[in-house]
Amino acid sequence: MGLINERTQIRRFVVKENEVILKRQSTRVFFKNGDTDFFFNWLLGIGEIFGFSHGELYYLAQRLGNSPKPDDWKNVFLSHVNYLEQAASNSGLSEQTKAQYYLAQTYSLRSAIQFTDPFSEEYLSTVRQMEKVFSSAIHSLGAPIEKLTIPYQGSYLPGYYLHSGDNCPTLIMIGGGDTYREDLFYFAGYPGWIRNYNVLMVDLPGQGSNPSRGLVFDVDASIPISLCIDWLENRNPKLNYLAIYGVSGGGYFTAQAVEKDPRIHAWIASTPIYDVAELFRKEFGSSLKAPSWLINAILKLAGNLNESANLNLKKYAWQFGTSDFKSAIDDVFNHAKIVDYQKIQCPCLFIMGKGEGAELQHQTKVIYEALKSKNPQTKLQVFEAESGADAHCQVNNLRLAHNIVFDWLDTLFEWNRLNF
């Protein structure tokens, strides 16, 4: 009888072909599988900023069909990299034209990485190729970006620093569980450059390819973020007006930082998370109370139905440094800290899309209601579906998100007034 009950619990967790691990958008764009479709929506958002055109992306989507396997996705985007590489090699191209080709190559490689097994031989070589092409893109753009490494636990955190000027406000950009530091360029680096901000973009433990060097998700992200601020203070003795911006899981990592570090003058989160364990409980439900052997057995069975979800679960375990997804979730339940948001004193901008899951929306509203009376500049920005920015991290309308974020910072720091 107990085994039957466990199987009944677990049935909720089995990820069928068209289902998603976490709800991240309200409308389907092209692909049947929700996780694949969300990432395609994300690529369309990048294409509004630079690099990709929507025509390119829909051409590739048509080649893939609406139910691609991870290997098919990876191979189609790697093939597109070869096409772009040849196009960029033509003589007579301006640096700006080359930059667009290089950026399209960068995020084609990034697209392939999203559906590449991190334990495979090709994973790190594809990551290194992406980093190399991104450097070419930055050179052709003329963006004032330098590579950096921040010492951490006998290793290092890799990142980029966009330097607009010592007297300019500075923004630390932190991604989530699915991001690489090259992603942070279109989230904040590029718009920050346009708005005359310094922007630090870094992979924390567990992010990017860091798990390949043993740097997996840590209990307290405030520690590596504090080291980032130390680095900024050493780099720029005139450092002032320091803000931090977190997207996705970065909404939790940055919450830990602003709770503890008074050097941060403003916090932006899409969306803010103060209790990540509760988020996982609500998303995965009581099914995770079943024993690990049963969950892992059924997840293996479910992987035959939804290879994209199965690969994502495998990647999450890799990022946590555990043998399987259930162990990764147990790590969160046993060790994740609840942020004491009542300690947060700086003004905040919270961003929430109506396509987000219910618990993310709930935690956003709770923390906003708790903090709005502390500072009149604290604001909640809610994006309805009609805005085209209701998806997770506003990936479907990054331009609008940029305007909201940097307009708020400009007002807060009284910056760029001469431009209005």
The residue to which tokens 């870094």 are assigned: 202
C-alpha torsion 384→193→186→375, nearest 10? -40
Residues ≥6 apart with Cβ < 8 Å to 413? 169, 241, 243, 265, 266
What is the distance between the alpha carbons of residues 386 and 172, in angstroms, rounded to a whole number? 30
Residue 184: CB atoms within 10 A of its CB come to 29
Q: 216: which residues sit within 8 A by CB, 6+ positions away?
A: 205, 206, 210, 319, 320, 321
Q: Is residue 44 part of a domain?
A: no
The pair phi, psi for residue 28, each rounded to 5°, is -90, 135
Q: Is residue 171 part of a domain?
A: yes
pLDDT for residue 292: 60
pTM of this prediction exceeds 0.85: yes
145 token code pair:
């970006």
In-domain check, residue 176: yes
In terms of Cβ atoms closer than 10 Å to its own Cβ (0-12, 13-18, 19+), residue 224 is: buried
**pLDDT, one tens digit for every residue, the chain (420 residues):** 444 444 444 454 444 544 555 677 878 889 998 889 999 999 999 999 998 899 999 999 999 999 999 999 999 999 999 999 999 999 999 999 999 999 999 999 999 999 999 999 999 999 999 999 999 999 999 999 999 999 999 999 999 999 999 999 999 999 999 999 999 999 999 999 999 999 999 999 999 999 999 999 999 999 999 999 999 999 999 898 999 999 999 999 999 999 999 999 999 999 999 999 999 988 765 455 556 655 555 555 554 457 887 888 899 999 999 988 888 988 999 999 999 999 999 999 999 999 999 999 999 999 999 999 999 999 999 999 999 999 999 999 999 999 999 999 999 999 986 543
Tell me the sheet residues that pair with 353. Answer: 383
Number of domains the chain is built from: 1
Question: Is there a domain that residue 407 lies in?
Answer: yes
Using the structure block, give the residue that is written with the tokens 């989507």: 61
Whether the Cβ atoms of residue 383 and residue 26 lie closer than 8 Å to each other: no
The whole domain housing 231 covers 145-274+339-420
Which residue is associated with the tokens 């199987």?
Answer: 7
> 121 in a domain, yes or no?
no
> For position 6, what pLDDT does the model report?
46
> What is the rounded end-to-end Cα distance, in angstroms, of the chain?
69
Instruction: Note whether residue 114 is domain-resident.
Output: no
Is the residue at 373 inside a domain? yes
Evaluate whether 321 touches 214 at the Cβ level (below 8 Å).
yes
Per-residue pLDDT at 4:
45
Does residue 289 fall inside a structural domain?
no
CATH number, position 264: 3.40.50.1820
